[in-house]
Amino acid sequence: MNDFENLSISSAIEGLANKNFTSLELTEFFIKKIEKNKDLNCFITSTFDKAIEMAKISDQKIKENETRPLEGIPIGMKDLFCTNGVRTTAGSKILENFVPFYESTVSNNLWNSGAIMLGKTNMDEFAMGSANTTSFFGNVKNPLGSKVNKELVPGGSSGGSASAVSSGLCLGSTGSDTGGSIRQPASFCGLVGLKPTYGRCSRFGMIAFASSLDQAGPITKTVEDSALMLQAMVSFDKRDSTSSRQSIPDFSDFKKLSIKGKRIGIPKEYMIDGLNSDIKKIWDSGISWFKSEGAEILEISLPHTKSALPTYYIIAPAEASANLARYDGIRYGFRHNADDLNDLYEKTRGLGFGKEVKRRIMIGTYVLSAGYYDAYYLKALKVRKLISQDFEDSFQKCDLILTPTTPNVAFSIGEKQTNPIEMYLNDVLTVPASLAGLPAISVPSGFNSEKLPIGLQLIGKPFDEISVLAAGAVIEESRGF
Q: Which residues are catalytic?
A: 78, 157, 181
Q: How far apart are CA 182 and CA 106, in angstroms?
A: 15
Alpha-carbon distance of 250 to 228, in angstroms, equals: 9
CA dist., res. 470 & res. 224, Å (int)? 9
Q: Please, are residues 120 and 78 in contact by the beta-carbon 8 Å criterion? A: yes
| Pairing state between β 172-177 and 74-78 | parallel
Largest CA distance in the chain: 71
Peptide bond before 157: cis, by omega within 30 degrees of 0?
yes
419's CB contacts (< 8 A; 6+ apart) are: none
Q: Which of 288, 285, 224, 270 is nearest to 446 (CA)?
A: 285
- SS3 annotation, the chain: CCCCCCCCHHHHHHHHHCCCCCHHHHHHHHHHHHHHCHHHCCEEEECHHHHHHHHHHHHHHHHCCCCCCCCCCEEEEECCECECCECCCCCCHHHCCCCCCCCCHHHHHHHHCCCEEEEEECCCHHHCCCCCCCCCCCCCCCHHHHHCCCCECCCCCCHHHHHHHHCCCCCEEEEEECCCCCHHHHHHHCCEEEECCCCCCCCCCECCCCCCCCEEEEEECCHHHHHHHHHHHCCCCCCCCCCCCCCCCCHHHHHHCCCCCCEEEEEHHHCCCCCCHHHHHHHHHHHHHHHHCCCEEEEECCHHHHHHHHHHHHHHHHHHHHHHHHCCCCCCCCCCCCCCHHHHHHHHHHHHCCHHHHHHHHHHHHHHCCCCHHHHHHHHHHHHHHHHHHHHHHCCCCCEEEEECCCCCCCECCCCCCCHHHHHHHHCCCHHHHHHCCCEEEEEEEECCCCCEEEEEEEECCCCHHHHHHHHHHHHHHCCC
Q: What distance in Å separates the CA atoms of residue 361 and residue 377, rounded to the nearest whole number?
A: 14
Q: How far apart are CA 78 and CA 109, in angstroms?
A: 14
